[in-house]
Homo-oligomer: A and B are copies of this chain.
């Protein structure tokens, strides 16, 4: 039994997913153990990073993932948002690395292709495929509607889990 963690980092909203993976090949079984978002609220940027660090430490400690799946970012033109994303992404990678957890980086296109069959799938198609493969409804365990950051984290973890089989 392995636990794959998927993270869609962001300083305003960070999506996470933990999938339990057992068996292999046709008998591979993947079950969503936990997923959701961390929202540091309306605090200012520096303070949000402190909250993220605390929450991420808690998540890694609770679920002890055996692998982290995270998006390989292709850098766009908005330097400011890339810089801020880097701050949040750095925390995730540093904690995984500090704990000796292997890190797997996938381009968005690879993940889409892996979970839907098409690298050009849109967000709605990704959600439908992820939910159907994991037999989930489009709500968080809390009952709240599933945010796209959590779906992206589920997709990252699912894509990695499939490659294990």
Q: Which residues of A contact B (CB under 8 A)?
A: 46-47, 49-54, 73, 75-77, 79-80, 82-91, 93-99, 103
Contact = CB atoms under 8 A, between A and B. Distances in A.
8 contacts: A46-B96, A47-B97, A50-B93, A77-B79, A83-B83, A86-B86, A88-B90, A89-B90
Contacts of A94: 49-50, 52-53, 87, 91
Contact of A75 (B46, B50, B54, B79): B79
Chain copies in the assembled complex: 2
Given A49-B90, A75-B80, A82-B82, 9 more contacts: A46-B103, A50-B94, A50-B97, A51-B98, A54-B98, A82-B86, A86-B86, A86-B87, A90-B91
Contact of A53 (B79, B80, B98): B98
A153 to B, nearest CB: 18
Contacts of A51: 97-98
